[in-house]
């Protein structure tokens, strides 16, 4: 593989980030979280409107072993972020049991004329990411 100047510049950016954030930390606790105290007025309200729905699982999904894990995802879109192409940027952070495991920040492939459209594209990417983690 032939390395380019851009690879060296990217490495310098990583080391610069590490130099300025060396006192920061991500706390990863392997103990399962206690969700018995978790309560939300909007938790599982979709069952009120769609009582006959069931979660769609892959046909070849292995049986679960061990404690359940809770997947939480935060998603946002910055509409028309790129001033030249007018494409939006999708930002996603995925947590498993409160630990961040995946971060996505990328330019969307299509140009949307409204914030609503770019948010829907971002939500679709987030759902696909959650389904990928849910099935593995």
CA distance 46 to 91: 25
Where exactly are the structural domains of the chain? 68-136
Helix, strand, or coil (residue 128): helix
Query: Strands 99-107 and 89-96: what pairing?
Result: antiparallel
DSSP string, 71-114: EEEEEEEETT-STTT---EEEEEEEETTEEEEEEEEE-SS--SS
Confidence of residue 126 (pLDDT cuts 50, 70, 90): very high
Polymer length of the chain: 136
Confidence of residue 75 (pLDDT cuts 50, 70, 90): very high
When mean pLDDT is compared across 5-14, 36-45, 78-87, the lowest value belongs to: 36-45
pLDDT tens for residues 80-105?
A: 877 788 888 889 999 888 888 899 98
Q: Say yes or no to pLDDT of 109 above 70.
A: yes
Distances (CA, A) of 73 to 19, 24, 41: 29, 22, 18
pLDDT of residue 136: 63
pLDDT of residue 39: 57
Q: What are the respective helix, strand and coil percentages of the chain, to the nearest 5?
A: 30, 20, 50
- Residue that wins the pLDDT comparison between 81 and 23: 23
pLDDT (average), residues 102-124: 87
């Amino acid at each position: 593989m032939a390395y380019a100047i851009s690879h060296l510049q990217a490495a310098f950016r990583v080391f610069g980030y590490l130099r300025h954030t060396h006192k920061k930390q991500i706390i990863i606790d392997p103990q399962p979280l206690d969700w018995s105290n978790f309560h939300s007025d909007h938790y599982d309200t979709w069952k009120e409107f769609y009582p006959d729905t069931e979660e769609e699982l892959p046909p070849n999904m292995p049986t679960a072993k061990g404690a359940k894990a809770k997947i939480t995802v935060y998603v946002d879109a910055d509409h028309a972020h790129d001033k030249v192409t007018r494409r939006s940027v999708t930002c996603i952070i995925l947590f498993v049991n409160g630990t961040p495991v995946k971060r996505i920040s990328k330019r969307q492939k299509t140009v949307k004329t409204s914030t609503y459209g770019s948010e829907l594209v971002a939500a679709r990417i987030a759902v696909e990411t959650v389904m990928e983690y849910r099935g593995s």
